[in-house]
Structures are given as structure tokens and as C-alpha cells.
Amino acid sequence: MGSRLLALLAAIAWAGAAGAQAPQKADPAATRTGFELGLQASNYKYEEPNFAKLEGDRGGIVGAFTYVGPDLWYSRFEGRYSYGSLDYTGSGTQSGVPDQLLDVRAAAGKDFRHWGVVWSPYVGVGVRFLYNDSRGTTSTGATGYRRESRYFYFPVGITVRIPMGGEWVFAPQLEYEAFANGNQRTYLSDVDPTAPDVNNDQFHGYGNRGRLAFEHKSWSFAAWFEYWNIRDSEVQPIGGGFVALEPANSTKEYGVELRYRF
């Protein structure tokens, strides 16, 4: 009798241990460790009020890696490359202007679950590079030039993941981009070989970013926007009593994207 009781207790203990070790179903609304790769399409408009604007469609790729550590803390690294063939309006008009954009960023945050929803605030650091090649002549005969742009910024935002049933998740995201500084390099030598190329530093501005995503298992589809508002740069002398200034400008971009997560 004693041996049977011991055997029964051993069987119950083994079954309990096996149940405790059984993998639990992953929370579809939680931030997950893994990679993402996707495609984007967008409409882009850069404008210097009362002076010039560049606008047109863009296409690009985006990639990300997320790691979730202890206590639901996570870190995320993300990169985006985008290309557009834009239309210029200013000193005349010009079409087919090549425009390349690269944005890389890193962020850290934590998941909090309240009212059946996962709240994921985060803070990070980012660098945005842009290369624009307007060489050639406009409709009025004005000569264009190349321009390189760099923004250094701190993104602060939150993603909210709302379960919708059937492993579908609605994930809106809102972000403020605190502008730290920027630099604009203008290749005036493209216009006149004797002219200097100019670097203008920028210190004032801000950005916003928003995203509405629908996620299902390994796939996500999103509509998004990005906005930048940058004030006048500092002034640089370029000789002959002249100075160069990067005027106040804004950038608006609206797009859609499809990502695969693995």
C-alpha cells in the first residue's frame, strides 16, 4: 500500500512538473524579440516658404531588430532607406531630381499591460541623412547644385497594442522628435568652380511621427506620416561680402508599408 501511494504521488508530481514546463501561448500584443523587413511607398514634400519646394513619390525599404529582456524591457534598432525622383519648383522648374534618404535609430522602452492593452513607451537617439542632387539647369536656365543634410535627434514616443481577436492587433504609435542639431552642406562649386562649398549648422526645430499598424502573426500593414519643421540656420560668410543661409523649411511625408516579422 505504501509503495502504491508513493508511486501515485510521484506520478502526480511528474504531471505537475510537466504542466509547469509546458510552453504558454505568446501574447500577440506584447513586444517580441525578432527581426522585421519591409517595403514602403510614400508621398514627400520639402518646402522653403516663398522660395523653393521639392515634391514627389518615394519608395524604400525598412529593417528592424528588437530584443526583449527581463521585466519586459526592450531595445530596438531600426533603419530606413528611401529614394525619390522629385520635382523642383523655385528658380524655374526641374523634374527627375534624385533624392536619397537614410534614417537610423536606436531606442529602449518597456511594456506595461493595463485594461487589456499593452502600453510601450520608449526613448532613443536617431540620425537622418539626406542627399539631393539638383545639378543641371531649370526651366529658366538657373544652375542647380548638390545638397547634403544631417539631423541628429532624440525620439520620444509610445506604441499602444490593442488585441482585436483572432491574433489581430491594432498598434497606433505617436512620437515627438526632439531636434538636437543639424548640418547642411551646399555644393556651391557645382554652380561656380571658384565658389566655396558651405556648411550651415542648425540648432532649432522639431519633428513628429505617427503610425497606424494592423499586425497579424508575422505580418503587419501600416499607414504613417512624418513631419519636420526646422528654423533658419546660422550664417556663414562665403566671400565678397556675401553670406550663405539655410532658410527655415518643413518636410511632410505620408506613406504605407508592409513588414514581415521573423
pLDDT tens-place string over residues 84-133: 999 999 999 999 999 999 999 999 999 999 988 999 999 999 999 999 99
- Residue 9: pLDDT over 60: no
- Residue 25: pLDDT over 70: no
Could you tell me if 75 and 67 are in contact, meaning their C-beta atoms sit under 8 angstroms apart? yes
H or E element at residue 185: strand 168-186
Average pLDDT, the chain: 91
- Residue 10: pLDDT over 90: no
Grid cell of 27 as nine digits: 501574447
DSSP 11: H
- Residue 207: pLDDT over 70: yes
Q: Which pLDDT does position 29 carry in this prediction? A: 85
Looking up cell 525622383 gives 85
Looking up cell 531606442 gives 107
Q: Which domains does the chain have, with CATH numbers?
A: 2-261 (2.40.128.100)
- CA nearest 182: which of 122, 228, 123, 144? 228
Q: Whole-angstrom distance between the N-terminal and C-terminal Cα of the chain?
A: 54
Q: Which pLDDT does position 18 carry in this prediction? A: 47
Q: Which whole number is the average pLDDT over 185-208?
A: 95
pTM above 0.85, yes or no: yes
**Adjacent-strand bridge partners of 140:** none
pLDDT band at 17 (very low <50, low <70, confident <90, very high): very low
Could you tell me if 86 and 55 are in contact, meaning their C-beta atoms sit under 8 angstroms apart? yes
| Distance of alpha carbon 27 from alpha carbon 231, whole angstroms | 44
Q: Which tens digits make up the pLDDT trace of 33-86?
A: 999 999 999 999 999 998 899 999 999 999 999 999 989 999 999 999 999 999
Residues belonging to the chain: 262
DSSP 22: S
Q: Which pLDDT does position 15 carry in this prediction? A: 47
- Residue 151: pLDDT over 90: yes
Q: Which tens digits make up the pLDDT trace of 102-116?
A: 999 999 999 999 988
Cβ count near 36 (within 10 Å): 18
Is beta strand 73-90 parallel, antiparallel or unpaired with respect to 34-48? unpaired
- Residue 161: pLDDT over 90: yes
| Distance of alpha carbon 249 from alpha carbon 105, whole angstroms | 23
What is the amino acid identity at position 189?
Answer: S
Grid cell of 66 as nine digits: 528588437
- Residue 4: pLDDT over 80: no
Could you tell me if 118 and 111 are in contact, meaning their C-beta atoms sit under 8 angstroms apart? yes
Q: Which whole number is the average pLDDT over 185-214?
A: 96
